[in-house]
Amino acid sequence: MALMITDQCINCDVCEPECPNGAISLGEEIYVIDPTRCTECVGHFNEPQCRQVCPVDCIPNDPAHAETAAELQVKYQRLTGR
């Protein structure tokens, strides 16, 4: 399942550089996660790195983009060419 950033985001800028897939960018008001690029760090790390560094815990699963671990692995392979 892709992740999302809620409106509790304080724009602290720590999540964007941690994303190995380049899925996080600054939106109009807060940071946003591109669900087509988010793999929850599957293939890169054991846990989503954005969640690890977020000081306000505002990165839940995105219910609009439910994916299995296998689907996230396929997305990782597509994004990285592996």
In a domain, 9, yes or no: no
The predicted pLDDT at position 39 comes to 97
The pLDDT tens digits of the residues spanning 21-59 come to: 999 999 999 999 999 999 999 999 999 999 999 999 999
pLDDT class of 82 with cuts at 50, 70, 90:
confident
Owning domain of residue 66 = 16-80
CATH code of the domain in which 58 resides: 3.30.70.20
pLDDT class of 3 with cuts at 50, 70, 90:
very high
Q: Reply yes or no on whether the pLDDT at 1 is more than 90.
A: no
**Overall residue count recorded for the chain in this entry:** 82
In a domain, 38, yes or no: yes
The pLDDT tens digits of the residues spanning 51-80 come to: 999 999 999 999 999 999 999 999 999 999
In whole angstroms, how far apart are CA 46 and each of 9, 27, 49?
23, 27, 9
Backbone angles phi, psi at 55, to 5 degrees: -80, -15
How many Cβ atoms are within 10 Å of 63's Cβ, its own excluded?
Answer: 9
In a domain, 71, yes or no: yes
In a domain, 29, yes or no: yes
In a domain, 74, yes or no: yes
In a domain, 68, yes or no: yes
| Total domains, the chain | 1
